[in-house]
Amino acid sequence: MHRAVLAAAGLAALAACDGAEDRSSDWDYVHTAILRPSCATAACHSGLSSVAGLDLSSPDAAYAFLTGRVCGAPPQAGDPPGNFVRPGQPESSQLMWMLRGEGTALVMPPDTPLPDVEIEIVERWILEGATCD
Amino acid sequence: MRLTVVLVWLVAGAGSASAYPQFQLSTDHERCGDCHLSAAGGGLLNDYGRGESADTISGRGDGAFLHGAWEPPGWLALGADLRGALGGKQLDGHEPDTLAFPMQADVHARVAAGPVALSITAGLRGSARERSPGPAIAAWVASREHYVTYQRHDDGPYVRAGRFYPVFGIRTQDHTAYPRRHLGYYLLEEPYALGGGLSGTGWEAHGSAFVANPVPFTGAGPRASGATVYMERRLAAGTRALAGQARVAVTAEDRRYTVGAVGKQWLKGSRLMVLSELDLQVQTFTSGGGTRPQLVGYVGVTRMMLPGWMIGGAIQRWAPDLMLQGSTRNALEINAQAFPWAHVEVHLLLRAEATGGDTFAPNLLSLLQLHYYL
């Protein structure tokens, strides 16, 4: 019994010691770990509903919608459609405003906003160029 | 205060209201299949269940289809669920919103021919905002369950194939409960599967193998293939149940391996029904990103004041990455459910949900649901 309690206490002490900087900011991780479970739900940005024309259910589709680029294609000049993501510029990316609820009444996700640590990972992905590899 | 009126037959409710796990054990019935036509529980009630819905749950009215005005032939079972909601929400740091929306408009049908039965649940759906391009019918209609079952005897083994909710965890009527929301059983995430189950005195076991929905615009969630198993054992003269479960789900982007336990305890003296679930999940990412351990926890206690009322509370925890500080979601909720007449339910839900461990700055939700089932 004491060993179990000690083991649990040890696990608790070890748990949750990582920060956002310890997680990957690759697109695959950003999409699969953060955007897909929180945004691509039945009533929102799934292939089923595509609210506001946004289908974030697959990595390629989500990348194209958010950045205006096709994954693997060379970058194009100009702002991406809708300005959801401006590579390298999280402060002027609409996606960040919506995730943080800054300067907009439309907080995303509207039922439960993301925790700050996950928003930081998305921000780092944009800051590092919003690539899809 | 902003008024948000969601003028839709919202998908956001189309997966709810088909199972009330609080009634298992507390109404002297050990198996969900005692009252539901499906041996796996959920969905249409059998004749006995309809009788119980009036006599034991509501205490007034006639629980039969159409309130007993017309009795379908023995090979046919029909039903419907209509649910609407009024309420409000306030996200931390933002103005409160008022909510008003229809949640659910499902019809249920089951056609039986000997040991074979076809079950279909279909409902109207829509979108609060701009509709997506695509097949018009999919924009309005959703069928979250449609499957064929083979079962020779009511208590005997069964197999089924089609789209259905595999037996796994506590199947709360609230699709936003964390075990459903975060383990692959959120709205319209029912997979296509081949499953089966069997039961004996004091136990039951169910298993399913599932594949990604071949028609993506009819479902949501990760397009996973995998399998689930669930084994439950009743103890203490049918007042307690313990279950173990496991699940594997594989998509092109990740793999999730889940093991969990479910505990159910009916405290007859105090008329308290306790439902609890703890799941540990490991998610590995196909393209880098490594592995992350996850946890879902749920404990709900309901005071059963039947006929007529049940009032309870629940605490829930979702940790999408146990090693990542500030990533958890915690929720505390209160539920008051009234069953004034057969076929009618009034449900008040109050929830405070904190993200990132910020317990003192929760997001608040209140929802009054009016539910009529036929």
Go through the domains of chain B in sequence order and give each one's CATH number. Answer: 2-373 (2.40.160.10)
Give Cα B261 distance to the centre of its chain.
Answer: 17
- Which chain B residue has its CA at the smallest distance from A101's CA? B94
Closest CA to A60 of A40, A31, A24: A31
| Contact with chain B for residue A40, Cβ under 8 A | yes
CA distances for B275 relative to B163, B231, B269, B272, B314, angstroms = 26, 16, 17, 10, 9
| CA A31 – CA A19 distance, rounded (Å) | 18
Which of B8, B10, B132 best probes binding to A when mutated, by most A CB atoms within 10 angstroms? B132
Q: How far apart are CA B37 and CA B74, in angstroms?
A: 12
pLDDT of residue B43: 92
Spatial separation of the C-alpha atoms in residues B186 and B292, rounded to whole Å: 21
**What's residue A72's pLDDT?**
81
Amino acid making up residue A40: A
Closest CA relative to residue B126, chosen from A98, A48, A122: A48
Euclidean distance between CA atoms A125 and B279, whole angstroms:
30
Comparison of pLDDT for B308 and A103, the residue scoring more: B308
Is B107 within 8 Å of B76 (Cβ atoms)? no
CA atoms B6, B7, B8, B9: torsion sign: positive
Structure confidence at residue A78 as a pLDDT band (50, 70, 90): low
DSSP state of B177: S
User: Quick one: three-class SS letters along B143-160?
Assistant: EEEEEEEEECCCCCCEEE
B301: left (phi over 0), alpha (psi -120 to 50) or beta: beta
pLDDT reported for residue A8: 56
Contact state of A51 with B128 under an 8 Å Cβ cutoff: yes
Query: Which of these, B283, B360, B362, B286, lies nearest to B324 by C-alpha position?
Result: B283
State whether A42 and B15 contact (CB < 8 Å): yes
Strongest mean pLDDT among A8-12, A77-81, B10-14, B77-81? B77-81
Give the C-alpha distances (Å, rounded to integers) separating B121 from A8, B21, B25, B78. Answer: 44, 19, 26, 10
Give the pLDDT mean for A94-117.
90
A42 and B219 in contact by Cβ < 8 A?
A: yes
Contact B290 A51 (CB under 8 A): no
Q: Are B226 and B210 in contact (CB under 8 A)?
A: yes
- B102 sits in which H/E element: strand B97-113
Closest CA to A121 of A56, A37, A29: A29
The pLDDT, as a whole number, for residue A48 is: 79
Contact of A20 with chain B, judged by CB distance below 8 Å, is answered with yes
Residue A51 and residue B363: Cβ atoms within 8 Å?
no
Tell me if A53 and B130 make a contact (CB, 8 A cut-off). Answer: yes
Cis-peptide into B293, omega within 30 deg: no
Report helix, strand or coil for A21: helix
For residue B358, what are the CA distances in angstroms to B261, B315, B326, B366?
A: 27, 15, 8, 20
Identify all chain B residues contacting A22, using CB atoms and an 8 Å cutoff. Answer: 324
Fill in the DSSP letter of residue A53: G
Q: Please report how many Cα atoms fall inside a 13 Å half-sphere around the Cα of residue B209, on the Cβ side.
A: 2
d(CA B18, CA B145) in angstroms, rounded, equals 11
Which one-letter DSSP state was computed for residue B13? G
The rounded distance, in Å, linking the Cα atoms of B204 and B212 is 26
Tokens 């009036």 identify what position? B54
Contact in structure between B321 and B294 (CB atoms under 8 Å): yes
State pLDDT tens for residues A20-39: 999 999 999 999 999 999 99
Residues of B in contact with A18 (CB under 8 A): 321, 323-325
- Arithmetic mean of pLDDT over chain A: 85
Q: What is the ipTM of this complex?
A: 0.89
Instruction: Report the C-alpha gap between B107 and B141 in whole angstroms.
Output: 11
Beta bridge partners of B324: A18
Q: E-assigned strands of chain A?
A: none
Q: What is the pLDDT of residue B149?
A: 98
pLDDT of residue A9: 55
Q: Which tokens belong to A42? A: 């039945």
Determine the pLDDT at residue B9.
34
Side-chain-side CA neighbours of B50 within 13 Å: the count stands at 20
Strand-pair partners of B226: B210, B249
pLDDT at A21: 93
Give the distance, in angstroms, between the CA of residue B309 and the centroid of all CA atoms in the same chain. Answer: 20
How far, in Å, CA of B56 to CA of B342, rounded? 10
Residues of chain B neighbouring A63 (CB-CB closer than 8 A): none
A103 touches chain B (CB under 8 A): no
**What is the distance between the alpha carbons of residues B10 and B14, in angstroms, rounded to a whole number?**
7
CB A51 within 8 A of CB A62: no
Question: A37 to chain B: which residues are within 8 Å by CB?
Answer: 182, 222, 320
Residues of B in contact with A16 (CB under 8 A): 319, 322-328
- The shortest C-alpha distance from B348 to chain A (Å) reads 18
- B182 min Cα distance to partner chain A (Å): 8
Q: How does pLDDT run along chain B (374 residues), one tens digit per residue?
A: 444 433 333 334 434 446 899 999 999 999 999 999 999 999 999 999 999 999 999 999 999 999 999 999 999 999 999 999 999 999 888 889 898 888 889 999 999 999 999 999 999 875 544 555 555 566 678 899 999 999 999 889 999 999 999 999 999 989 999 999 999 999 899 999 999 999 999 999 999 999 988 887 788 889 999 999 999 999 999 999 999 999 999 999 999 999 999 999 999 999 999 999 999 999 999 987 789 999 999 999 999 999 999 999 999 999 999 999 999 999 999 999 999 999 999 999 999 999 987 777 899 999 999 999 99
Q: What is the bridge-based pairing of β-strands B76-90 and B363-373?
A: antiparallel
